[in-house]
Amino acid sequence: MSLNVLLEKIKQKLVEDINISLLNVDGFDFSGCTVRNVIFATDNQQDRKIKNINFKDSILEDVSFDGAILESCNFDQSKHINKTSLSRVSFKKCIMIGCRFRKASISWSDFRYSEISQVTFEESKIDFCDFYRTFFLGVGIFRKSSIRNSSFYYTYFDEGSTIRKENIAEGKILQQNKSIYSKFLIDWNALGTGERKNNQLNSKSDWSPENSLKDRFTDAEDIFKSLNGLWMSKGFLGDANWAYVQGKKMERKRMIAELTYGKYSFSKRLMKVMVIFLNFLLDILFGYGESIGKMILTYILVIISFAYIYYASQDVSIQSYVLAIGVSFKNMVAMSPDEVKNISPFLDFLNVIQTTIGILLTGIFGFILGNKIRNQ
């Protein structure tokens, strides 16, 4: 392929079925072109550098930049278009510096093992992309972007990245949807053959979709806890707390999956069941210390439950259930009304238990409320 032939194809706005990995295309203008089945670089090349290429408003399909150093390349779209602007584009093992994907629609594209710095994905739509072991360094802009069905397992974001909770479409990551994750695992890299062709050493991996599906909650737990740490360090406390809650839920599902697939002794299985139950209880009652609504409902439930006991007991003289609720509420705040004095030892014990629970719940409520105020 000569430069003159390439320039003629660019002039016709259709570049397809060619290998230009040996050509110097620095500064070329592919804007508005359809670029299909084109190899710009292969990962066996040494220090392949591509600078200042303009792909603005172009359509890229089945394009490879594997292993290249991309500097100041522009993949922007001037406006959102109905068709995907980058589809099945491989940036595997790339070093990307100062590149732009503003308003781009990116699907089934490979960013594995790449190092991305000073990049903008502002207002972009990212779907079914793989960012496994991708490093985002320096300032990375994700404002108003939407990321769905994409893998961020072992992805590193440094403190310059502006990715937020709002960028995660529908508040769900890939590993939380079994059917979509299965499609991703089977179809992704080999695009339908089900074979994970290469790892970082360019050798066939022992990876299998079945094992990844079994470990999906472990992966999801790691992703949410990593995001929690990132957002906490940047002061995005609301986002961090949301990621913390999601991480705890994935932790519970991970332990349930381990009970399903793992082989444990009776004592270890019993211990894991107890930990799962405690995790579930903390979620239902308090939302892991993040839900004021669940805290209030728990408080009301305790009042109603003990009110029924007092109303049904013959040792306590209470004429109506409404009065019993008032007695129960006073007991929650350690006021000990006359109706629950001089009663049987059993009811007196329940009285102490309720007062203790009330003090604990009041303390937890203060913690949650203070946490919410601090996050505002």
pLDDT digits (tens, 9 = 90+) for 254-305: 999 988 887 888 889 999 999 999 999 999 999 998 899 999 999 999 999 9
pLDDT of 345 higher than 50 = yes
CB neighbour list of residue 370: distance below 8 Å, 6 or more residues apart: none
Greater model confidence, 205 or 278: 278
Give residue 342's pLDDT: 65
Residue type, 83: K
Q: Do the two domains 1-172 and 291-375 of this chain adopt the same fold?
A: no
Whole-model pTM: value is 0.84
Residue 205 has pLDDT above 60, yes or no: no
Report the pLDDT value the prediction gives residue 225, as an integer from 0 to 100: 95
What confidence score (pLDDT) does residue 211 get?
A: 81
pLDDT-derived band at 84, boundaries 50, 70, 90: confident
Confidence of residue 195 (pLDDT cuts 50, 70, 90): very low
Q: What mean pLDDT is predicted for residues 25-42?
A: 95
DSSP string, 289-314: TT-HHHHHHHHHHHHHHHHHHHHH-T
CA 125 centroid distance within chain? 16
What pLDDT shows up at residue 192? 39
Sequence-distant (≥ 6) Cβ neighbours of residue 373 within 8 angstroms: none
What are 20's two structure tokens? 């230009």
Please determine, for residue 98, whether its predicted confidence score (pLDDT) is greater than 90. Answer: yes
Q: How far is CA 95 from the centre of its chain?
A: 24
Edge to edge, what strands does the sheet with 125-127 contain?
14-19, 34-41, 59-65, 86-90, 105-107, 125-127, 146-148
Question: Under CATH, to which class is 1-172 assigned?
Answer: mainly beta
Q: What is the pLDDT of residue 243?
A: 95
Round the average pLDDT of the chain to a whole number and report it.
88
Write down the pLDDT at residue 193: 37
Domain boundaries along the sequence of the chain: 1-172, 177-212, 215-284, 291-375
What is the pLDDT, as a whole number, of residue 202? 55
Tokens of 228: 């929690």
Residue 316, pLDDT score? 67
What pLDDT score does 38 carry? 96
Task: Give the pLDDT confidence of 207-242 residue by residue, as tens digits.
Answer: 677 888 888 999 999 999 999 999 999 989 889 999
57: left (phi over 0), alpha (psi -120 to 50) or beta: left
Domain 291-375: assigned CATH number: 1.10.287
- Coil vs helix vs strand at 264: coil
How sure is the predictor about 196, in pLDDT bands with cuts at 50, 70 and 90?
Answer: very low
